[in-house]
Amino acid sequence: MKGRMRKAGFTLLEILIVIAVIAVLALITINISRRIENQSKERLTENTIAIINAALTQFKDYGYEYHDPNYRAFVFPLDCNGFNDAGLVGTLQSATGAAVVGDGVNPADHQNEYSGCEAMYYLLSNIPSCRETLDKIDKSLITGKGFTSQNMTITIGGVSRPLLRIIDPWGTTLMYDYYDEWETNVVLRYAGRRTFPVITSAGPDKKFGTMDDINGVSHP
């Protein structure tokens, strides 16, 4: 009887093997689920960038003129990525004629990396055809929250409007790159412009300049 009972049970080694197999299967399942989720987010990002490129093409055809004569030669929304704090807010204010950029309370709420995408979204949204195209973007990817989750605004002609920007599904603001953003001289910056803007997502790792970045296709 005792022999039959021992044969009917599981040894400690067998139990450990079963636990190990379950752990491996769970890990594989988690990795597959994560990959499927990232693939879905990648497709959403690519679709979003395609929508932005379509709106930029419409913007180019519209021939928008900036408020400040120094920027009237620019045919695309102002590229503000990477300037210092004063340059970011000052350049956006100068180009659009804005009195206030940010939340109007704490300048630290307005981050450097926001401004290029904010300028792009603001200027595109002023043109009906471009705004209609931008409306196709998933609403979860459009935010007006600053660094401390305060709502950002832009004030022009005494009227305040939300200052919105587009983020990727991982929560990072898209980079809008048209000019040499490190060049502070307006004339030289304009001379170094690309043939068409490049919209970039930092991808799952949320860091620009790495292998998982997702870029929009440049137009000739």
Indicate whether 220 belongs to any domain.
Answer: no
Quickly list DSSP for 128-155: HHHHHHHTTS-GGGEE-B-TTSPBPEEE
Instruction: Give the closest residue to 41 by CA, choosing from 214, 161, 218, 217.
Output: 214
Indicate whether 26 belongs to any domain.
Answer: no
Residue 54: give the domain boundaries: 36-215
Indicate whether 93 belongs to any domain.
Answer: yes
Indicate whether 2 belongs to any domain.
Answer: no
Indicate whether 24 belongs to any domain.
Answer: no
Indicate whether 61 belongs to any domain.
Answer: yes
Question: Tokens standing for 86?
Answer: 């004063």
Model pTM? Answer: 0.77
What pLDDT tens digit does each residue of the chain (220 aa) get? Answer: 455 555 556 787 778 888 888 888 888 888 787 778 878 999 999 999 999 999 999 988 887 777 777 677 677 777 776 554 445 566 667 777 777 777 666 767 777 778 788 888 988 998 899 999 999 999 999 999 888 888 888 887 788 888 899 999 999 999 988 877 667 676 776 777 788 888 999 999 999 889 999 986 544 4
For the chain, the domain total comes to: 1
| Cβ contact 154:100 at 8 Å | yes
